[in-house]
Amino acid sequence: MKNNDNYIIEECRHCGNKTKLDVVGKYTEYGDPEFDYRWEKNWLMLKCCACKKISLGSIYSGEDTVISYNNGEYEYDEIYTMHFPIETYHGTNVPEKVNDAFSSALKVHYVDKVICLIALRRTLEIICKDKGANGKTLEKKILDLTQKCVFPQVINEASDILRILGNEAAHGDDVNYDERIVQEMINFTQIIIEYVYVIPFRINHIKSKLISKSNSNI
């Protein structure tokens, strides 16, 4: 992510262009080291230079994102997240139940991390059911889809991590979930949805255009 105090270079979810997003508003939160580790989160109101629409994003860095220590100074990785508009998949072949479950998880992300993880696990359950997975447990269903090559091995591993965290959250364990981990679980779920539904849809769409163009030239 390229950024300075006045703009960032990122994808606009309104128009889909990766372009300059001007920072038109900013608010900074700081973690209290007496109660939590030290962190900083910059909330950004962004205006797209292409479509002129407004988005809300954030840039997070903290003790859990340290990547190096040189000459007495820490270097931090910066985690960029787009919060509005919410990522959804209307208009593709993602089943409505999958889209709704994932959208619900995103909506409660900053309300309750535990509920968010449970909702992400539910999204995974719905995907498994939609793809006809066999097995009495979610773990066995994920393995079944991997063996059928619906999930590749890397998606299988990501799904299993999501399953474990979702189970832990659902059982009411007194665990303080790190924001970065929850965000990664959202990213994993999004990758799974795109691999299973969105990418095949786009490939077929491009193929149909190529075939149509080829036929018109005959």
Distance CA 134, CA 130 (A): 11
Q: Where are the beta strands (DSSP E) in 78-213?
A: 79-84
Do 113 and 182 belong to one domain?
yes
147, amino acid identity: Q
Q: How far apart are CA 178 and CA 159, in angstroms?
A: 19
DSSP, res 176: -
Q: Residue length, the chain?
A: 218
Using pLDDT thresholds of 50, 70 and 90, give the confidence band for residue 87: low
What confidence tens digit (pLDDT) does each residue in 184-200 have?
888 888 888 988 988 88
Confidence (pLDDT) at 65: 78
pLDDT tens digits for 27-78? Answer: 998 877 665 567 888 999 999 998 898 999 998 888 777 777 777 777 878 8
Kindly state whether residues 145 and 76 are assigned to the same domain. no
Residue 164 resides in a domain: yes
Contact of 143 with 160, CB cutoff 8 Å: no
Checking if the pLDDT of 3 tops 60, the result is: no
Pairwise CA distance, residues 171 & 111, whole Å: 19
Q: Does the residue 213 lie in any domain?
A: no
Looking at the fold, whether 107 and 203 belong to one and the same domain comes out as yes
**Structural domain of residue 172, as residue ranges?**
96-208
Answer whether residue 186 is part of any domain.
yes
- Cβ contact 55:82 at 8 Å: yes
pLDDT one-digit tens code per residue, 90-144: 657 889 899 889 888 887 877 788 888 889 999 999 999 999 999 988 888 888 9
